[in-house]
Amino acid sequence: MNSNTQFDYLIVGAGPAGLQLGYFLEKANRNYLILEGEDFPGASFKKFPRHGKLISINKVYTGYDDREINLRWDWNSLLCDNKNLLLKNYSRDYFPEAKEFVRYLGDFASYYNLKIQYGCKIVRIAKNDNFMVIDSSGNVYSSERLIVATGFAKPYIPPIPGIELAENYVNVSIDPEDFANQKVLIIGKGNSGFETADNLVATTSLIHVVSPTPIEMAWKSKYVGHLRAVNNNFLDTYQLKSQNAILDATISKIKKQHNQFVVSLNYSHAHGEQEDLIYDHVIICAGFRFDDILFDESCRPKLTINDRFPEQTSEWESTNVKDLYFAGVLMHQRDYKKKQSGFIHGFRYNIRALHHILEWKYDGKELPSQLIEPTAQGLTEAIIERVNRSSGLWQQTGFLCDLIVILDKGEVVQYYEDIPIDYINDSELGQSCHYYTVTLEFGYEAEKMPDPFAIDRIHKDDIESAEKSAFLHPIIRHFRKNNLIAEHHIIEDLAAEWLEDIHIRPLQVFLHQQMSKNHELRYPVKPLGAYLVEAGLLTITQVKAALDEQKITPMRLGEVISKQGWVSQSTIEYMMDKVILPEREGLIVSELVAQA
Q: Which residues pair with 474 in a beta bridge?
A: 440
Q: Whole-angstrom Cα distance, residue 224 to residue 230?
A: 11
Predicted confidence (pLDDT) per residue in 236-290, tens digit: 999 999 999 999 999 999 999 999 999 999 999 999 999 999 999 999 999 999 9
DSSP-derived secondary structure letter, 334: G
pLDDT of residue 446: 63
Q: Whole-angstrom Cα distance, residue 173 to residue 192?
A: 14
pLDDT of residue 320: 98
Mean pLDDT of 307-331: 98
DSSP-derived secondary structure letter, 251: E
Q: What angle do CA 12, 18, 20 make, to 5 degrees?
A: 160
Residues of the chain above pLDDT 90, percent = 81
Contact status, residue 226 vs residue 218, Cβ threshold 8 Å: yes
pLDDT of residue 448: 75
Q: Whole-angstrom Cα distance, residue 345 to residue 347?
A: 6
Grouping H, G, I as helix, E, B as strand and the rest as coil, residue 257 is strand
Place 596 in a pLDDT band, splitting at 50, 70 and 90.
very low
pLDDT of residue 517: 78
Q: Whole-angstrom Cα distance, residue 413 to residue 378?
A: 9
Q: Whole-angstrom Cα distance, residue 338 to residue 218?
A: 11
DSSP E strand stretches across 342-453? 370-371, 400-407, 412-420, 434-441
The angle that helices 501-517 and 376-387 make with each other, rounded to 10 degrees, is: 140
Q: What is the 3-state secondary structure (H, E, C) of 98-136?
A: HHHHHHHHHHHHHHCCCCEECCCCEEEEEECCCEEEEEC
For residue 197, CA distances in Å to 233, 234, 329, 382, 425 come to: 9, 7, 25, 48, 43
What is the signed CA dihedral for 320, 321, 327, 333, rounded to 10 degrees? -10
pLDDT of residue 576: 83
Residue 13 CB burial class (10 angstroms; 0-12, 13-18, ≥19): buried
pLDDT beyond 80 at 592: no
pLDDT of residue 139: 95
Residue 89's CB is within 10 A of a number of other CB atoms, namely 13
Helix H or strand E encompassing 248: strand 245-257
pLDDT of residue 391: 98
pTM reported for the whole predicted model: 0.88
Predicted confidence (pLDDT) per residue in 420-466, tens digit: 999 999 999 999 999 999 999 999 776 677 788 888 889 999 999 99
Mean pLDDT of 1-16: 86
Closest by Cα among 556, 572, 591, 509 to 411 = 556
Contact status, residue 292 vs residue 303, Cβ threshold 8 Å: yes
Q: Whole-angstrom Cα distance, residue 349 to residue 513?
A: 33
Mean pLDDT of 396-406: 97
Place 417 in a pLDDT band, splitting at 50, 70 and 90.
very high
Contact status, residue 120 vs residue 55, Cβ threshold 8 Å: no
pLDDT of residue 521: 58
pLDDT of residue 570: 84
Grouping H, G, I as helix, E, B as strand and the rest as coil, residue 229 is helix
pLDDT beyond 80 at 522: no
Pick from 13-22, 140-149, 224-233: least confident: 224-233
pLDDT of residue 177: 98
Query: Mean pLDDT for the chain?
Result: 93
Place 1 in a pLDDT band, splitting at 50, 70 and 90.
very low
Q: Is the peptide bond before 212 cis (omega within 30 degrees of 0)?
A: no
Place 502 in a pLDDT band, splitting at 50, 70 and 90.
very high
